[in-house]
Amino acid sequence: MMPDTFVSPQVEINEALVTGALLGRGLPSEAEHHLWEAGLSYHLDDIAERHLREAEALAPDHAAVLIGLYRFYFYKGRLAEALAVARRCLLKAAQENNLPADWRSVRTGDAEFGRYENILPRFFLFSLKGYAYLQMRLGETEEGRLAVQKLLELDPTDKIGAKVLLGVLERMGQDDE
């Protein structure tokens, strides 16, 4: 269970990126319409997912579409599907930053991870944080731990809050008082 003060990675991704110009660039207006409709019909799972899939068909690798899919699956509790999208976000972020495809091979000097205002490196960090969080939720704690450790290596000042996840990992298995 996550502490009450924990801000989930998908909320951070949304707040940090969806409003940014990066995500709006190159998104076909029809895909944007489907994302909008998916949000309006969120309570109707089949309809919302159909709109998300339509947006995906029009712009399969666009970050706004990927984030929409991620958030939908996450909030619906479809964590394995959210994890699959988180992996796609990681690959997209790696490509956008000219990073190795395997997040384990990314090094501190590969991008300006320490500059929070740099949206592309931040997209990578938030994608990795979402990946780590979902691994933990799905019981893959060692994979989650490795991802959190990579986050802290890339972002030693912890601007994105990876230490919260590390704290959760460290408390796992301890009795709550």
Whether pTM exceeds 0.85: no
- Cα separation values, 70 from 11, 73, 74, 142, Å: 10, 5, 6, 22
Query: What are 25-67's pLDDT values in tens digits?
Result: 688 999 999 999 999 999 999 999 999 999 999 999 999 999 9
34-38 CB contacts, 8 Å cutoff, 24+ apart: 34/58, 35/64, 35/65, 35/68, 38/68, 38/72
Query: What are 123-161's pLDDT values in tens digits?
Result: 999 999 999 999 999 999 999 999 999 999 999 999 999
